[in-house]
Chains A and B, each alone.
Chain A
Amino acid sequence: MPTLSRRELLGLASASALAVTLAACGNGSSTGSSGATGDAAIDTSKASGEVTYWLWDNNQQPAYQKVADNFHAANPGITVKITQYGWNDYWTNITNGFVAGTAPDVFTNHLSMYPQFVSQNQLVPLDATLAKDGVKTDVFQKGLADLWVGPDGHRYGLPKDFDTISIFYNKALVSAAGVKDADLQSLTWNPTDGGTYEKMIAHLTIDVNGVRGDQPGFDKSKVKVYGLGLDGGSGGAYGQTQWSMYTGTTGWTFTDKNPWGTHYNYDKPEFQNTMAWMRSLIAKGYMPSLQAVTGTASADLFGAGKYAMITNGSWMIKQMFSYKGVQTGLAPTPTGPSGKRSSMFNGLADSIWVGSKNKPAAAKWVEYLGSAAAQDVIGQAGVVFPAIPSGTQAAQAAFKAAGVDVTSFLMQVNDGTTFLFPITEHATQIGNIMQPAVDAVFTGQSPANSLTSANQQVNALFTS
């Protein structure tokens, strides 16, 4: 799943909202503080009863129901009750549930929320239980399990799936430009002149008169098709689908260490030069302006044939391939100054709430969700990439059966060119500082070096 864009921030905001009040209401703090169960192992041997489980992706609900049925067959004493809420409502309900004592036993957790939940003692540490039951955490795709270890060294989630970034392109628009699919597979990029990647973007851009972006007479004020789309905005603090696949190739890292870094690097030239390059694409008319993308979802604009290419995440595969009249292709992100590609590596996990009334059964269910038996079933549904390699392969096969070659996403994992989503404290505040700051660079209102002062504000959060 993707990290925060502005739309999502809202949902998270309302979630943290309720988290705010955790301390305010006697109710919440009791479950909160007493929840420090330490790392005592939960005895799952006699687990029984009902477990409530929440998720937000309704595309995956059928597959999870199947997993729950299998689980029930294997453990007849335990029934899993699955409830699905849309993304925005989901977090509000979770945190309300923390406060009022009505949260689910087990829930799908997101990297952007979990640092907060950990610091509020809302999650059950899993290490001792997993060790006791002999559940291995090294069976997942490399790195994913590390994401879910808190600053205290305890594990708070068991990975379920992951996502990476690729270029989605419109086959008709690409071949009309005389470009072959193979030409898109090995583009190179650098922040100075954009490399062959920018040349390709320019060539794929057409104005209303049919003049291409790399031809004389190109009218950048009347663009018909942009060579490269922009996913909903500037990408704010993380730019997961907008620019993180470029900055990742410059040797730049978001923070001093990851996870749990305490210093951001938005003041470094590698980062700021990349932002300046993004701005230059807009100025040249090769990429839509922020004004032009404040509106319909980028996927729908891609579906409308407005973009020849757009960078987006693996969770969008299903939608990007469903548009009528658009033949979609996939290409890996370009290689950069480091000579390698790069993609943010992000994932979900299942966590247990400290207030769960049935921790034994909850733990048993989480262990099952983290097993190959469960993740293979999820993989076969062909919606996301499960965290266990056999599940990933099942997903790859399922996508293939549906006519989608997902190599460009998995290539990043197999070649080891992924970097983990930066997990730090203060995620929402950082988003609120960086969103307007990066917006201003994209609109041309401020130069890229203005991000240095935004970086100071961000880092001030960690010193106070």
Chain B
Amino acid sequence: MSTVSLQQPLVRAPRRRRVRWGRGLAWAVMILFLVLTLFPFLWIIRTALSTTRSLPSAPSDLLPVDFTWGAFARVLGLSSRAQAIAQGGSGASVNFWLYLRNSAVYATGVTIGQVFFSSMAAYAFARLRWRGRNLVFAIFLGALLVPPIFTQLPNFILIKNMGLLNTLPGMILPTFFMTPFAVFFMRQFMLGINHEIEESAALDGAGPWRTFFRIILPLSSAPATTLAILIFITTWNDYFWPLLVGNTGSTRVLTVALGVFESQTPSGSPDWAGLMAATLVAAAPVLILFIAFARKIIDSIGYSGGK
């Protein structure tokens, strides 16, 4: 195991001066990108803290226009219908905690299934040798190229015929077993795993299942965690499918519920403050999760040096 910390300069002393200069430049570039990335969020926060119908009166102010927490109250379902409408919001009721729970169940379910089953498939594509492997993989990959508009309706009917409409399993199922992306992702990382480890396992008499569970999965924990985060976030942000399949009160997820802040009537403008507050509130749990897990990724970095 390598114990070199990341902060340690990788280049030796003689070049130190030049390296420092390079680092300064590197930091400057990094900060530039951070600013570019974060500025629109400043804008989103500023809008979320404004009063919707006051926004056009100061369209380019960097600070909130007529500061209010009202938008957040609307998002969390804390303001009365009359209050919400008076502030330019919608009169819809928001049962925030229920939707949060549904989103969590939906995203977690999809993530667990997809990461596990896709890893299994990726293992078969990356490490096992069997006839037709490359062809099957190519076909799997082809699914990346199918426009979602073609898959949505047949899947909806299928779920309906299975009697799973307005249930969480019905929402989870289509992406529970795989997405082409997840298989592709895991395969590419598994390609990089050292053959020798596997070979020595094989010498010890370990079958493919044992190798998969004991060696490949643990070794892939960093990409798998990354993948899990990506899937979780994608699923968390999913709007259209849960709207279609689970829009009754009891299975409604956060994104769908917060859709009421978008424009409800044609040609009206949205409840800007509510929309932006909803965006922030919906993004907060994933952000927290990401920060928690990102640490884990860093902790598990050492795996690759495990030779």
Contacts and interface: CB of A to CB of B under 8 A. Distances in A.
A241 interface: yes
Interface centre among B55, B262, B269 (most CB of A within 10 A): B269
Nearest to B149: A17
A301 B54 CA distance: 12
A297 B154 CA distance: 35
Contacts of A25: 153-154, 157
Interface residues of A, number: 55
A5 B267 contact: yes
Contacts of A88: 262
Contacts of B111: none
Contact of B244 (A86, A93, A231): A93
Contacts of A85: 247
B66 interface: yes
Interface in B232-274: 243-244, 247, 259-260, 262-269
A62 B57 contact: no
B281 interface: no
A58 B55 contact: no
Nearest to A89: B243
A206 to B, nearest CB: 18
A231 B264 CA distance: 17
Interface string A3-20: 011011001000001100
B267 A323 contact: no
A122 interface: no
Contacts of A326: 57
Contacts of B269: 296-297, 299-300, 319
Contacts of B153: 18, 21, 25, 96, 99
A100 B170 CA distance: 14
Contact of A62 (B91, B243, B264): B91
A232 interface: yes
Please classify how large the interface on chain B is, using the bins under 10, 10 to 19, 20 to 34, 35 or more.
35 or more
Interface in A80-100: 83-89, 92-93, 96, 99-100
A101 interface: yes
B273 to A, nearest CB: 12
Contact of A319 (B54, B243, B268): B268
A188 to B, nearest CB: 27
Contacts of A299: 267-269
A46 interface: no
B53 A322 contact: yes
A302 B161 CA distance: 49
B85 interface: yes
Nearest to B65: A324
A324 B57 CA distance: 7
B88 to A, nearest CB: 6
Contact of B265 (A56, A92, A99, A298): A56
A59 interface: yes
A92 B260 CA distance: 15
Contact of A84 (B92, B262, B263): B92
A241 B57 contact: no
A62 B53 CA distance: 21
B299 to A, nearest CB: 42
A160 B293 CA distance: 54
Nearest to A27: B157
B90 interface: yes
Contact of A231 (B92, B157, B267): B267
Interface string B183-217: 00000000000000000000000000000000000
> What 6 pairs across the A-B complex have the smallest Cβ distances?
A303-B56, A297-B269, A304-B56, A324-B54, A58-B90, A8-B266
27 contacts: A2-B267, A4-B266, A5-B267, A21-B153, A25-B153, A58-B91, A58-B260, A58-B264, A84-B92, A84-B260, A84-B264, A86-B262, A86-B263, A89-B259, A92-B244, A99-B157, A297-B267, A299-B267, A300-B55, A301-B56, A302-B56, A305-B57, A313-B267, A315-B268, A316-B267, A324-B51, A325-B54
Interface of B: 51, 53-57, 59, 65-66, 81, 85, 88, 90-92, 149, 153-154, 156-157, 160-161, 165, 243-244, 247, 259-260, 262-269
